[in-house]
Structure 1
């Protein structure tokens, strides 16, 4: 049975933001969902940053991720391998991966390149659900995740800027995006 992989990343940053090249992934959240949007499985992993090993106060406040959670975490290459192993353990065929916006794809590809990490995500098609949602809902512009959920009549569940919660909320909007293989369901 086919499924979609929904990914959200949290990364190092500071007030005012950093260039993409300076940011490093610190948390990966992944949700495997049916083509109808039903959650099958979830996965979360912290990632130890190398370039900026100490989180800024701004980053800690934004994500609620504490330094101790990253100090003994695996590096990106090992986390990427762990994600691949989790995906391989699933009984579904993954059609591709999705994220809310294009940041996650760009950050994943950049960090994989910088660290010479192998990843199945590099070989799967990516879909920007933020763009799909705006097009399918005939919005004049793309909107943030929380705003899209409100537009769909849904409440954000969990904590914003935590990878797994953001991925799970993004997955809830899959039915509104009509990706290839979409199956209509009565309750999204």
Structure 2
């Protein structure tokens, strides 16, 4: 089996826009079972929406606008990336820094009406969580922060997909013996966001401190006054399950 260290960059969007952010760069490094470098993949992508990069993204990534202007669209790039992944005949384990990369790829796959089966079935390991567990940390750290923590020498440009993938590969090598690969996972759709889950957690804590037995009905009534927030039954079920997990409710 090969290890594929994956990183993406995505564009910004106008505040409160109905249009999604899109992947604008994919970078990946392939390591063999002995953690030796084999090859790499890198491609820019011209998005459908906000193809003119805003100043923040241009400054953060250093991607030239003229390179985005001549880049291929997502369907062509993701097909090329899939073909590159398939060169690993004994299978792959994808490694990402956090869960955002898989989410963004699957979002764009669906937006372009491409079959998402491969990506939903792909096994990936969140190396950020692996680092936090291995070092007993509670706060997220960036790739650059992890390099410093592990006393590794950074190289390339931060926030360029291939360079970040290369640095993440160095972190992976350094942590390899401390990682619990039983925690590898498949992407799971989520319908609530971090702020909504935090609201549930805050509600439980507030009620408990007031010696009120937390119930979902109280959370919904007092902490989600805008009923449209919970209009999606999938989100409602997800937050109810989160509430139950936090309180031990049956």
CA offsets per residue over residues 126-175 of structure 1, 9 Å max, x none?
A: 21110011101222333111111111110211000100000111111113
Query: Which consecutive residues of structure 2, in runs of 5 or more, have no partner in the other structure?
Result: 183-250
* Greater relative contact order structure (CA < 8 Å, 6+ sep): 1
Question: In angstroms, what is the RMSD of aligned CA positions?
Answer: 2.4
1:113 to 110, 115, 119: 110
Q: Tell me what 1:78 maps to.
A: 76
Q: Tell me what 1:185 maps to.
A: none
Q: How many residues align?
A: 178
Give 1:15-164 correspondences, 5 Å limit: 22-94=20-92, 96-118=93-115, 120-164=118-162
Change (3 A) 1:138 1:37: farther
Greater per-residue helix proportion? 2
Query: Which consecutive residues of structure 1, in runs of 5 or more, have no partner in the other structure?
Result: 182-188
Greater per-residue strand proportion? 1
Determine the C-alpha separation between the residues in 1 that align with 2:169 and 2:19.
27
Higher alpha-carbon Rg? 2
Change (3 A) 1:18 1:60: farther
| TM-score in terms of structure 1 length | 0.85
Q: Tell me what 2:9 maps to.
A: 10
